Structure 1
Amino acid sequence: MTARICTVPNCGSPAASDFSPHCRRHKSTLRRHGAPDQSGVTKTELAPYLARIEARIARNPSNETWPLTEEIWASIVAEAGAASSRRIGNRYERSAANEIVSIAQDVSPATVIATVLAMVLMWRDRPRRFRTDDALRVQIARRVRALSSRHVGLRYDHRTGQQVRIYREMTPKAAALLGRKLMTAFGAIGLRLADLDARDRKAATETKQRLATAISNLQ
């Protein structure tokens, strides 16, 4: 039995092995979420950021940004389709390519892009929600992948007599590669939208302050 202790602050559990810096729980979390102390971003948690992205798109319906981003996604999908059919090459890149192809078959381009932009907006608003850059990329990959049902299956539970949903996890390297591709493609756009949101909030605050001042000066 190893004498090492998990390096995650306040954990105190034994390390999974003499070669691991983390206990079994945090080692598993690292594999799934990109950092040993990173929790998954939920659909509910992302919803308000997605609503802000959708509102921005609705205010700029004829802006060329949106069709251009869909062209970028189409290019990523085409590249992934070619990569997924190769028998040689990096297996993690091929795995990430397979994930992209599956997502594209199940989810509209606009939904994929809006989800990535919402994740970037969330990161800008709450940077501490993501423990590392790797964790951010993995969470982006997981949220986009969750839009598709192709990684979900059913298993019969003999104990309860019911069908239960099971999820096929991505490999850590495939998740990191997918997240990197999405962040590279759409990250700058998401940051620009975050800046516009900050500008609008500042303008709204200034308007409220002017109104408060005007009201206080009423006689």
Structure 2
Amino acid sequence: MTARLCAVPNCGTPAASGYSPHCRRHKSVLRRQGAPDQRGVTKAELAPYTARIEARIAKNPDSEAWPLMEEAWAAIVVDAQSTANHRVGNRYQRSAANEIAAIAQDCNPGKVIVTVLGMVLFWHERPLRFASDESLRVQIARRVRALSQRHVGLRYNHRTAKQVRVYREITPKAAAMLGRKLMTAFGGVGLQLAELDERDRKAAHEAKQRLATAISKLN
């Protein structure tokens, strides 16, 4: 009987089991990243986009948009704290709520908002970097979660006789729920800021073109 192969194109590795469409490696990637062919977004990769968001905020320091977004985050935190204290209900919702409560304890609201807006800007300019809407939500959750150190611990490695960092993974469903909450709250704003960036780049390009045209007409 021919072994069932992983459903990811060009993988060719046998599926992890008769019930799984993916091999062990892609099954693990799916669980951690939100899609079997999704690469995790790194802090360095996101940095140029968050820098542009911070520049926009600095350019408009008195805008009412920033405190309103902080109020929106505060409302998410209050709702999460209430959900986290429930002993009954959906365990994935409680997990996502616990993550939000932990992030709120470690991070100032501005950092959370800038990270989400940066991810939306990244997605807007490089949509093919994300395998699906679900993986986008998971990546948003992972980048925001990385702002907190509460999911990081230490374990003693007897082989090397050293302490090593270990990371507590969030379940895919909880990560998607967390990402969905953040995208619902700030996704629209992120897209509007992306449009402002496009406007500014277009204006700068047109100014360069006008200058080049004017120079070409000099005697």
Q: Kindly provide the amino acid, as one letter, of the partner of residue 128 in structure 1.
A: L
Match of 2:136 in 1: 136
Amino acid in the other structure paired with 1:15: A
User: Gaps (5+ residues) in structure 2?
Assistant: none
**What does residue range 196-215 of structure 1 map to in structure 2 within 5 Å?**
196-215=196-215
**1:179 shift after superposition:** 0.3
Is 1:138–1:175's contact at 8 Å kept on the other side of the alignment? yes
* Counterpart AA for 1:10: N
- Structure 1: stretches of 5+ with no match in the other structure: none
Kindly state the Cα deviation for residue 193 of structure 1 after the two structures are TM-superposed: 0.2
Instruction: Look up the match of 1:189.
Output: 189
Question: After the TM superposition, which residues 1-219 of structure 1 pair with which residues of structure 2 at under 5 Å, given as runs?
Answer: 3-219=3-219
Which stretch shows the higher mean deviation, 1-10 or 149-158?
A: 1-10
What's the secondary structure of 1:13's corresponding residue? coil
Cα deviation for residue 163 of structure 1 reads 1.0
SS state of the match for residue 155, structure 2?
strand
Write the distance in 2 (CA, Å) between the matches of 1:89 and 1:159. 42
Letter in 1 for 2:184: T
Q: Secondary structure at the match of 1:182?
A: helix
In 2 relative to 1, CA 206–197 (structure 1 residues): closer, same or farther, beyond 3 Å? same
Segments of 4+ moved more than 6 angstroms = none
Alpha-carbon displacement from aligned partner over 1:26-68 (angstroms, at most 9, x marks no partner): 0000000000000100000000000000000001000000000
Q: CA RMSD in A?
A: 0.9
More displaced 10-residue stretch of structure 1: 115-124 or 207-216: 207-216
TM-score by length of 2: 0.99
Cα offset for 1:161?
1.4
* Structure 2 CA distance for aligned equivalents of residues 47 and 203 of structure 1: 24
Alignment identity in percent?
73
Distance 1:144 1:154 in 2: 21
Q: 1:2 offset after TM fit, Å?
A: 7.4
User: 3-state SS of the aligned residue for 2:163?
Assistant: strand
Matched AA of 1:147:
L
Q: Deviations over 1:187-212 (max 9, x none)?
A: 00000000000000000000111111
With normalisation by structure 1, the TM-score equals: 0.99
Shift, 1:215, TM fit: 1.0
Q: How many residues align?
A: 219
Instruction: Return the letter of the residue paired with 2:150.
Output: R
C-alpha distance in structure 2 between counterparts of 1:196 and 1:121, whole Å? 11
Q: 1:61 to 1:133 in 2, by over 3 A?
A: same
